[in-house]
Amino acid sequence: MLVFPMRSTTAVDGVMMTTRSVEGELRSRIDALGNVRHRPTGAFDVSRLPGTARMLVIPEGTRVSARIRNRYYDRLPDVAIVGPSSRPVALQIDGKAPVEIPLSPLDWSRLTPVVAATVADRILGAADLGITCLDDVADTNKGDIAGRTIARLADAVVARGIAPLDGTTVALIAQLTALIDAGDVDDAATAADHLSTSPHNLRRIALRWFGFPPKTLLMRRRFIAALERFQEAGMDFATITNFGYFDASHFLRDANRFLGTTPRRYLRRIDASAHGKSASDRPDYR
């Protein structure tokens, strides 16, 4: 199973840039995910770390099943929306790789009136969220799926946003996104102070368009950053102190919250999958 983060970053999940076209920004998000290297023949697994919402456009003839927390989806629809997540999203793909586009909270506000918190840790069809701009986009007979997806989505975001927001709210969403990405704040009260808003209003904004309370968003960002460094350093617990963790037990508590297992067990399970072992061959690290 290959690991790709689902966290928000300025390069991948950030607010639509005004310095380049929306189409260019969407393309950069797809490209930033990278191509699956050394893909095995037949079905293959991908694990997405907890993070912001994303869209999956699944080509005709491809079957994608998914698991998040205790929910299992036997076959995802042609255009699926993975809601904001607090646990890894395991995808099993049999066929051509889907087109994946991370969705920022601002994207969410412009594409659907559905409250993000109501679909957290869930996967739904785009139509279930009122997103109809991608109907029939997965038809492989019509050429480049990624290109058509980008064009239609860009048009919907720019020209036909169904949940227009006032400038103050847009600015606050963008500022909260940047604050989370920076990773410099650990608690909701400090975040509200930095953004010159009340804790109540910040919580409302976070649940409405980010899917989780501010505290969860900040904790998730810190944990994912620490986990990536932990993996790069050969699973050395000494590295986690750079991210505000007091000791290993503190880090392990967050791992249980955001992975459902220990970091080493999760990373070893991912590594076993990446080396081509089938699900029946892999040890159960839960």
For residue 16, which amino acid is it?
M
Report, in this order, helix, strand and coil percent for the chain, each rounded to 5: 45, 15, 40
Chain Cα centroid distance, residue 217: 12
User: Is the confidence at residue 105, as pLDDT, over 60?
Assistant: yes
Is the C-alpha dihedral spanning 278, 124, 180, 151 positive or negative?
positive
C-beta of residue 49 within 8 angstroms of C-beta of residue 100: no
Whole-angstrom distance, CA of residue 74 vs CA of residue 80: 13
64, two tokens: 């994608």
Whole-angstrom distance, CA of residue 74 vs CA of residue 136: 21
pLDDT digits (tens, 9 = 90+) for 9-24: 333 332 222 334 555 6
Q: How confident is the model at residue 6 (pLDDT cuts 50, 70, 90)?
A: very low
pLDDT digits (tens, 9 = 90+) for 172-209: 999 999 999 888 888 999 999 999 999 999 999 999 99
Top-confidence residue, 116 or 268 = 116
Whole-angstrom distance, CA of residue 7 vs CA of residue 49: 7
What is the average pLDDT value for the chain, to the nearest integer?
A: 81
C-beta of residue 145 within 8 angstroms of C-beta of residue 99: yes
Top-confidence residue, 160 or 19 = 160
Whole-angstrom distance, CA of residue 96 vs CA of residue 250: 40
For residue 163, which amino acid is it?
A
Buried-exposed string 112-147: b where 16+ CB fall within 10 A, e elsewhere: bebebbebbbbbbebeebebebbeebbeeeeeebbe
Closest C-alpha among 17, 46, 43 to residue 29: 17
Per DSSP, the chain holds a count of helices (H) and strands (E) of 9, 9
Mean pLDDT within 15-36: 50
Q: How confident is the model at residue 161 (pLDDT cuts 50, 70, 90)?
A: very low
According to the model, what pLDDT value does residue 168 have? 86
Least confident of 141-155, 208-222, 238-252: 141-155
